[in-house]
Amino acid sequence: MTALARSLQPVVPSLPERARAALGALWILARDHDRLDQVLVMTRAVNAGSVARAVTRIAATEEGRRLFAERPRIDRAHVDFDALRRLPDGTLGREYTRFLDDNGITPDAFQELPAVEDERAAAIILRMRQTHDLWHVLTGYTPDVRGELLLQAFTYAQVRIPSALVLVVFGTLRWMKLDRAYFAALREAYRRGAAASYLPTFRWEEHWGTPVSELRAMLRCPA
């Protein structure tokens, strides 16, 4: 066990506790798929352990070390969203704010660091949460049930967090019509995630004025 994994042990519940939490959250989600709080409960329960591996991978890169050193955030306290709305159509900043406005999403949904002992682990969890909607913009996946499941397949290919796989399987069985077209889209989403550049360390803040089409080429994620 690595030193990082050992450092996370005091705040990681036992396997039975995590199983109960995950199953309880999935039960609530089965009745109401809009319960974001239960998505977070489920992800926290099943991702224990995988976070440590992600931190190790990220810390091994120059971009990752810079991310941990600077701890950038994407919320109203750190980003001028009105300025992003004034950017030309097609740019990342304009399309991101359009996505938020069209879907009634607030950029401040996640502001507090997760209750994780290792500061780097907390930072990357928060980063993934705050950039989730930017992944939507890049991939083109809509924020409905189908689009969220496709993005989770993309995410699993990127970072191998168990919660993404659980959500894909659970959501598919609960809400989706099991036909060839859907499964083809799911396979394509996974393929796109595996082929794309590693997004957890990408500095979106430095590309607000970049056209999304250029970012897709840059990040090997064509529409």
Q: pLDDT by residue (tens digit) across 87-136?
A: 999 999 999 999 999 999 998 877 666 666 678 888 888 999 999 999 99
Number of residues that make up the chain: 223
* Model pLDDT for residues 174-216, shown as the tens digit of each residue: 889 889 999 999 999 999 999 999 999 999 999 999 999 999 9
**Is the pLDDT assigned to residue 25 strictly greater than 90?**
no
**Which pLDDT score is estimated for 10?**
37
Residues 123, 22: Cα–Cα separation, whole Å: 22
**Is the pLDDT assigned to residue 162 strictly greater than 70?**
yes
Tell me the two tokens of residue 146: 């189908």
**Which pLDDT score is estimated for 75?**
94
Domain boundaries, the chain: 47-218
Map residue 211 onto helix, strand or coil. strand
